[in-house]
Amino acid sequence: VSGARLPVLVIGTGYGGSVAALRLAQAGVDVHMVEMGMAWDTPGPDGKVFCNTLEPDHRSYWLRTRTKAPLNYFLGLPIDRDIPRHTGILDAEEFGGITVYQGRGVGGGSLVNGGMAVTPRRENFGAVLPSVDPAEMYGVYYPRANAELGVGTVDPDWFDSTECYRYARVGRKHAQRSGFPFVFVPDVYDWDHMEREAAGTAPKSALAGEILYGNNHGKKSLQQTYLARARATGRVSVSPLHRVVSVAPAGGGGYTVVAEQLDTGGAVTATKTVTADRVFFAAGSVGTSKLLVTLKATGALPLLNDEVGRGWGDNGNVMCGRANHLWDPTGRLQSAIPCAGIDNWAAGGAFAEVAPLPTGIETYASFYLTITANPHRARFSWNAAAGRVELDWRTAWKQPSIDMARTIFDRINAKEGTIYRTDLFGVYKIWGDHLTYHPLGGAVLGRATDHYGRLTAYPGLYVIDGALIPGNTTVNPFVTITALAERNIEKIIATDL
Ligand code: FAD
């Protein structure tokens, strides 16, 4: 409601924002959440809330007239197609040297991601969050995050027998024959539901190729976990299709927050102003960084420090495929939810997930998303002439990631007598090095903020999302984002309220 005075306003409804909302509400504080994307709680014309990965429609992309599939070629042919411009669920946000994929809607990235819920190995944690005590994270906050998110692991016996993980078993065989440790990757997908999908007794989602544009069944997104519990307190309200554009100190204390209401074509239909005693920036690494950099440069929050916008990384994401022999089919039916990985972090700086290619046909391809120890960090800055925030990442900075991924796949190819696929990212192009799913940093803990995410120049302003993490988590990031948010909000509730 325009003109209202709120105790707490949270910008964004992803992991960081949802943790903050739940814990503040449980502490007796009323919370209002503002989300630029849609609510994703209403079925479309086909009776489903989310559209299928193989049949992208208006629901698929955030304000684009053509899809921008991460894997954009098949057999050397481009697969993107025209779609109506709409406030769809997946944003492929283009910066100079990289396309950053992000979820848009109530639930943030949890709506579109693979649900892979991985806690970093403890020996790697010092590189992930150097200023945080590992004992408290591994003793309290990682377990808390895993429990609330509903993390589980595939039943190994079912894994060994089901057609839908043939591709992952081929991945395991190849990894083990080359001497690499193979690991099961935990996930928030409901594994019992998936077994029922395979048995034909539950509606299909993972087994119908649903993933990038949302899962209609089975996946425990934040809508089913943190946000459901937050709403059940009766203290949390959400405004979807509202984009925060300004936060500035208010005359009588607190902060004036300006939000633009959007229609589903992306047009601004109203501008609303509220005052909040406390504001949590939870717009994701890119969203929070863009807001803070803009607000500092344009004079709304001039006292933010010079670390704002710095320390951004891509979690070392790089993709590739391998062409298997005809005796290694990967299966026509592939679960869209990955469950297996190859851990070569210690020796080669690479953790590769065996990813599906749920095309419905036999491809004889193994496909991988590899997370690597890429050392490059980029910076967001305000371009006054263009009136927008830019990121100085360069495509060439993916080369260390490619080299690290090759420590796994060159060896497997040599052992198996196989080659890389060259038809998945262009015409004769091996590496998917133009994108990330895992933006991290831009308001790094202990640098842009204090050790709990406070923007100390402005009491009552906090960062509580992936922007806090300095560019890499060694594994998929959302469990770490959630656990860090749990740690920080507990401290903030105990000391600031
Ligand atoms: P987000 O979840 O990004 O939430 C931020 C929210 O803020 C969004 O809903 C956004 O719309 C909203 N917002 C932004 N700006 C504004 C504004 N100005 N006003 C109002 N609202 C705003 N991670 C894993 O750990 N495992 C996986 O398997 C995995 N797979 C992925 C697959 C894909 C395709 C993608 C895109 C990501 C994947 N990730 C995965 C990454 C993971 O989803 C993100 O790391 C995580 O969602 C980040 O959480 P967050 O709280 O920082 O922000």
pLDDT mean over 374-392: 98
- Give me ligand 1 centre to Cα 440, in Å: 10
pLDDT confidence band for 48 (50 / 70 / 90):
very high
Q: Using CA atoms, how far apart are residues 372 and 390, in angstroms rounded to an integer?
A: 24
What is the chain's length?
Answer: 497
Atom of ligand 1 nearest to the CA of 104: 11
Q: What percent of the chain has pLDDT over 70?
A: 100
Atom of ligand 1 nearest to the CA of 466: 52
Q: What is the pLDDT of residue 426?
A: 87
242 catalytic, yes or no?
A: no
Q: Given the structure tokens 């590739």, which residue do they identify?
A: 320
Residues contacting 373, CB < 8 A, separation 6+: 127, 316, 345, 349, 350, 400, 404, 472, 474
Query: Is the C-beta atom of 112 inside 6 A of ligand 1?
Result: yes
- Give me ligand 1 centre to Cα 197, in Å: 27
If residue 101 lies in a helix (H) or strand (E), which one and from where to where?
A: strand 98-103
Q: Give residue-wise pLDDT tens across range 419-475.
A: 999 999 988 999 999 999 999 999 999 999 999 999 999 999 999 999 999 999 999
Atom of ligand 1 nearest to the CA of 105: 9
Q: What is the pLDDT of residue 95?
A: 97
Query: Is the C-beta atom of 223 inside 6 A of ligand 1?
Result: no
SS3 category, 95:
strand
| 242-269: burial string, b at 16+ Cβ within 10 Å, e else | bbbbbbebbeeebbbbbbbbbeeeeeee
Query: Is the C-beta atom of 331 inside 6 A of ligand 1?
Result: no
- Give me ligand 1 centre to Cα 251, in Å: 33
pTM of the model as a whole: 0.98
pLDDT of 69 above 90: yes
Q: Give residue-wise pLDDT tens across range 296-307.
A: 999 999 999 999
Query: Is the C-beta atom of 34 inside 6 A of ligand 1?
Result: yes
Burial bucket for residue 2 (CB in 10 Å: 0-12, 13-18, 19+): exposed
353 catalytic, yes or no?
A: yes
pLDDT mean over 204-218: 97
Query: Is the C-beta atom of 377 inside 6 A of ligand 1?
Result: no
Atom of ligand 1 nearest to the CA of 476: 25
pLDDT confidence band for 1 (50 / 70 / 90):
low
- Give me ligand 1 centre to Cα 323, in Å: 32
Q: Using CA atoms, how far apart are residues 15 and 106, in angstroms rounded to an integer?
A: 10
SS3 category, 255:
strand
Probe target for ligand 1 pocket from 9, 15, 146, with the most ligand atoms within 8 Å of CB: 15
Q: Given the structure tokens 């299966």, which residue do they identify?
A: 331
Q: Which of 35, 353, 416, 486 is catalytic?
A: 353
Which ipTM did the prediction report?
A: 1.00
Atom of ligand 1 nearest to the CA of 222: 2
Q: What is the pLDDT of residue 3?
A: 77
Residue nearest to atom 9 of ligand 1 (CA): 108
Which pairing describes strands 242-249 and 255-262: parallel, antiparallel, or unpaired?
antiparallel
pLDDT mean over 15-30: 99
Chain centroid, CA 127 distance in Å:
20
Query: Is the C-beta atom of 287 inside 6 A of ligand 1?
Result: yes
- Give me ligand 1 centre to Cα 101, in Å: 8
Q: Given the structure tokens 């693979």, which residue do they identify?
A: 114
Q: What is the pLDDT of residue 76?
A: 77
SS3 category, 176:
helix
Query: Which of the given ranges, 2-11, 132-141, 352-361, has the highest pLDDT on average?
Result: 132-141
| 199-225: burial string, b at 16+ Cβ within 10 Å, e else | eeebebbbbbbbbbbbbbbbbbbbbbb
Residue nearest to atom 4 of ligand 1 (CA): 14
